[in-house]
Amino acid sequence: MPFTRNADSYFSVAKDSTGDHLLQLRLWPWWRGGSFENSSLSAHFDEIDGLAADASARKLFVINGANQQGELVRYDLSTRSFTMLLPGAFATYVDFTKSGEFAAYVKSQNNSLWVSRANGSNPKQLCPPNMSVELPRWSPDGKWIAFMGKQPSQPFRVYVIPAAGGVPREVTKGDDNQGATNWSPDRRSLVYGNVLCQQEGSCAIHRVELASGKATIVPSSQGLSTARWSPDGRHIAALNFQRRELSVLDLSSRRWRKLAEGINGNDVIWSSDSRFVYTKSSMNGPTKILRVAVGGGSVLTVLNLDSFSKSAGQLDTWFSLTPDNALLLNRWLNTSEIYALNYR
């Protein structure tokens, strides 16, 4: 526990459920009994890592422990440079409208759903505070947002909510854990895979008609999850976690085709032109973001996350793409703060 003293005082730290509290113990002179007076110098800090007293200035210097702060990073693959987006929003699971004008995101502090302009202005919370949200997705016309939502003591379910605000609506009835969802280009349907389904052997890709709420299993999709509809509407990409494979369904021929092996991430993102699928792997050492051509060909590593983290800070496991196909990443930075407190 941090501790320091000067000529007439001792300084220490008391811990409780609200944080760390600074205590000053002043030694009374002998004619007053030689006892100590105990007083508190501050309400609390998160975690005090060090103390130092300057008796001449009557100041106490406090190091408030390392706090992890997240920021959203846009990484340009052509220039290999990054810029920060949505400063101060603590945003993760970010999705932009097709025009790039608006963003939907989840606040990492409490898993709440928010929308704002792309520059972070005019933020607005959409969902009630008791709902935990992941992976929101804009509808193609920018009027609705679909997302994974979890009520207390309930499974993850797929919901939709108007982007302008309103009450979230569960798109189907049931008690299975539903994963991240994506829209069909005509906004009439959603597609999703199950989560927490491997042990039960119930993984499959589901298609939901929004008007009726009718859900059907996509043919030959048993064992697959993490479904993503291509922007042009021609394909659905999905992962097989047990086989570590990325596959794609041609909706015209209704046939699945394996695109890549050795995939063990849980992110699948289409490029805006529907030519490529981006995913992630750490099967052969470093964690890499991969670009896979739907038409066939070699798998390209577009970013080595382990090398990137050494210079840019710790990166989260989630990633996505901007409308112009730059990478979106969460970077976590540890920061410490030094405070100067006056004392008697």
Q: What is the pLDDT of residues 15-33, one digit of tens each?
A: 765 567 677 666 655 444 4
* Range name among 3-12, 139-148, 231-240 with the lowest pLDDT average: 3-12
* Range name among 93-97, 268-272, 331-335 with the lowest pLDDT average: 331-335
Tell me the β-bridge partners of 270.
277
Tell me the β-bridge partners of 234.
none
Q: Please say if the pLDDT value at position 255 is more than 60.
A: yes
Quickly list DSSP for 77-96. Answer: TTTTEEEEESTTS-EEEEEE
CB 145 within 8 A of CB 115: yes
What integer pLDDT is reported at residue 298 of this predicted model? Answer: 83
CA quadruple 263, 237, 106, 304: dihedral positive or negative? positive
What integer pLDDT is reported at residue 37 of this predicted model? Answer: 52
What integer pLDDT is reported at residue 1 of this predicted model? Answer: 45
Backbone angles phi, psi at 214, to 5 degrees: -75, 130
As a whole number, mean pLDDT of residues 129-137 equals: 93
Calculate what percentage of the chain has a pLDDT beyond 90: 52
> Which of 274, 282, 237 is closest to 257 using CA atoms?
237
Tally Cβ neighbours within 10 Å of residue 31.
6
Question: ∠ at Cα 270 (283, 211), nearest 5°?
Answer: 120
pTM over 0.85: no
Q: Please say if the pLDDT value at position 85 is more than 70.
A: yes
38 against 148, higher pLDDT: 148
What integer pLDDT is reported at residue 279 of this predicted model? Answer: 95
Q: Please say if the pLDDT value at position 34 is more than 50.
A: no
CB 71 within 8 A of CB 84: yes
Q: Please say if the pLDDT value at position 183 is more than 90.
A: yes
197 against 249, higher pLDDT: 249
What mean pLDDT is reported for the chain?
Answer: 84
As a whole number, mean pLDDT of residues 106-116 equals: 92
Tell me the β-bridge partners of 290.
279, 301
- Kindly list the distances between the CA atom of residue 61 and the CA atoms of 3, 15, 22, 58, 335, in Å, as whole numbers in the listed order: 12, 18, 11, 10, 17
Dump pLDDT digits (tens) for 263-289: 987 889 999 999 999 999 877 778 899
Helix or strand or coil: residue 187? coil
What integer pLDDT is reported at residue 31 of this predicted model? Answer: 47
What integer pLDDT is reported at residue 197 of this predicted model? Answer: 79
As a whole number, mean pLDDT of residues 117-132 equals: 91
As a whole number, mean pLDDT of residues 306-320 equals: 67
What integer pLDDT is reported at residue 69 of this predicted model? Answer: 60
- In the chain, the domains with their CATH numbers are 3-66+335-342 (no CATH), 71-333 (2.120.10.30)
What integer pLDDT is reported at residue 164 of this predicted model? Answer: 95
Q: Please say if the pLDDT value at position 42 is more than 70.
A: no
Rounded CA-CA distance 340/211 in Å is 61
21 against 223, higher pLDDT: 223
